[in-house]
Amino acid sequence: MNRATLLVLLAYASAFVLALIVGRTLEGSHPVVVALAADIAATVAIFSFSMAFDNSSFYDAYWSVAPIAITGYWCLVPEAADATAVRQWLAALLVGAWGVRLTYNWCRRWNGLDDEDWRYVDLRVKSGHAWAAVSLAGIHLFPTLLVFAALLPVYAAVTSPAPLGLLDVVAVVVAIGAIALETAADQQLRRFLDGRSDHREILADGLWAYCRHPNYLGENMFWWGLFLLGLAAAPQWWWSMAGAVAITAMFVLVSVPMLDQRSLARRPGYDEHMKRVPALLPRVPR
């Protein structure tokens, strides 16, 4: 095990311990409040490692690790004692499968302490002396709050005694389809990156022929699947769709334009590719 891996494990272990301390301090409060406070505390712990080792990619796996811990906690609170067990297991398994897959994908892609997400590098240059504040607010806390908001339907799902229904089936199908889509898209991307002879080449085969960012489509689908699961359990939690809406807006308004602009600058013919292939909603290739 190399030094970078050990440091990442130490960072996440420290975050977990701090989250436990904060959670114990707030014992007796509503489980959503406890989870949020612990989530923020753990994020700050990861941020400290990001700054100490000058690499904000320490946070990248947090997006997929934290939801597993939060879901596990919610499944164990007293409010979940009388919940529908099958729905509890479905929620836990879906979040677990999604989180493990995404974390593994990051682990095999990250090349150590000298490897930092290009978006962070750009922000570091643009923010100058304000980099620490930008990293804390924009790279660490903002995604944490976004994911936490999108995870709220899971609390409804694991604490509701409502019987299973057709909407539960739809939710599970959407979530499983999302995980499968992300998995296939990431595999195709990895094969393309490993096999290309020129970094200017454009991936336009397989799922990538139907939309420019099928992995992003799968990510969005997953959060909508979780929302449907929460809605099936507790229709009064309809307002929790705000989390899925916010994540979709982030991808549509920020992530996709940033990646497309980078490709336009680096890959000749990408402008024509954008005309032929939609960003997220699939279309039969022209």
CA pair distance 272, 236, nearest whole angstrom? 46
In tens, the pLDDT along 112-148 reads 888 888 889 888 888 888 999 999 999 999 999 999 9
pLDDT of residue 285: 67
**Spans of all domains in the chain:** 3-276
User: What's the DSSP call for residue 233?
Assistant: H
Predicted structure pTM score: 0.94
Instruction: Locate 222 and state its tokens.
Output: 């997953």
What percent helix, strand, coil does the chain show, rounded to 5?
A: 80, 0, 20
In tens, the pLDDT along 95-113 reads 999 999 999 999 888 888 8
Instruction: Locate 51 and state its tokens.
Output: 């700054």
In tens, the pLDDT along 250-284 reads 999 999 999 999 999 998 999 999 999 999 998 87
Instruction: Locate 84 and state its tokens.
Output: 């529908």
pLDDT more than 90, % of the chain: 80
Mean pLDDT of 195-214: 88
CA pair distance 35, 40, nearest whole angstrom? 9
CA pair distance 195, 127, nearest whole angstrom? 35
Using an 8 Å Cβ cutoff, are 170 and 228 in contact?
Answer: yes
CA pair distance 99, 66, nearest whole angstrom? 8
